[in-house]
Structure 1
């Protein structure tokens, strides 16, 4: 009995409160984005806000169940969860329903479930289980390869479903690997290659190649260390030029047409305000019209006239920007930042490596979703269909993020029972 009392006392109620604040704030935004002005009840379950209310209730039930389960259950069955979710990702390729071009949904009557959402917490569990083994060492090639396989196998299956946005989320796990000892040059190299890809699309191969050559010459002339290691410098230049020469082919033949045009619109290379750029253009107008304090709850003209497509799902931030303005948007960002900082701080206080690694997995996934969703809404990232955690409309998304977070809350509450 005493153990149970201590357990409830050890729960990070501040993190729970942040979760509830985001869920309620999100539901009010969904209600505002979906309300039709016909004075219908907030419990109208034929409307999106009514359905979301049911999903919130079920999410809270899931959270309670997770908190009363033995904390060791999640580490013991981490690989089982991973295996089952991978089977579901394979099954959806064969038996799934295609929605918005992605074959990623199981349809059972009027109920739809998206397995790719649940793959996130399963991957975080499996990665934490593997990396927490005593014999793993991120300096070893075997460990890096196995960790990469755990991360990118579900990403590959999701990419096969034509759901690029969900597949991109798995790159966020690089932050977990970095925390656990992955050399810094590996994520740095990834960022450099990503930047080179974007710059080459924007300015062309010739200008980028000339810029790289000039930069290397300056390094050679100005710094003695580069003159001593001129072979390494030359090899870096040759590999960079080889990468740049492949960018155009990858852009034209690997990416889908709608992905190419979204990137071009983001870079200002094309304008299509009534086509591919319509969502982002309308989103900017909606957010900008909110001013400092917003137009008020249920008073957003663009929100209630549905000028922004997908405003209760991927573009839910527009409702916040229009109706609650800059201050309301800042409050939402503050809630997310507080949650991310809290998770990282609690992760560093864990006695078990499994809990620490899983905590960083939770923070990485939430950070990626939060950053990319807001960035694509204001035109700083291509539109890729990334929901805002705990906020966007959708049962699969809400449940998966709830499971993801509350498994960590459970691990954190149990940390005093873990021996060093």
Structure 2
């Protein structure tokens, strides 16, 4: 007889605290498996073995899911235990994610610099080199030395090549030094983040977290009423919090391709976080909690939402959530990249051309922020559709 699965979107299907316990045990097992893999790879140095990177990513993924489930379904769990566990898991996930965040931010900014300075793609570079558009400049070492090719005379005494337009020329001159400055700052930050992560993984604080997760893999501290209490009301509350937060967003502004107010504020010398970004970051966190709550319900049916769309074609899946999550991830990445460009532009005694290139880069990333908001608005307002 074919195995029957509960439909997590069916409000009549009973899903109780036992399903939550099974989900938490599975995530704890994944955490311990990733921890063992990380120890076997030895925690390779920054940019090192791929196995260590995958293990750290798996640790973060499991820690986020356990922490998110403890938050959404906390009435069904021992309150003292969950309140002690959630901050520790958040600390671990945040600490392990910093190195990857700095690496991705640097790559994003360098690619944007190349695009803005006339190069469609980032060419392969020797170690320590920072390139700009091949048609615009010849790049020196990590110091960012640049010789504008458009102004260089032919070695045989021929006439100089035509100069580019002033805007592109000014950007090209500063792009190499801006890239070198960003590379120095973000590579240093990434190295420090890697060292911090290694220290965290060797600390007594982490060992205490790992011990608690090991206990969780076999014993979940549910309340006495949890095995007979349904999970759907708590999952629905998480969805309602997300819906309310989305309703408070300025989606009318996000429906326009240009938000002058956001750009003007972003170009100000005020180093404080952008005031428009906070609510969007909060929606991203609430969307993650909603997705994790759906995972718990789907786990009772024997598969994750994405797996259900592949293995059980008749089961509905909200692809809107996937598109919305991707848009909010782009929003976070672009806003943090813009902040990094603005921080680099505040470096004392940098050349005007470098500051100009960083200003253009900052504006470009703020426009990426607006594009991500527009994409989220489009994804969220469309009706949920079924899996193919």
Smaller-chain TM-score range?
under 0.3
TM-score (norm 1): 0.23
TM-score (norm 2): 0.25
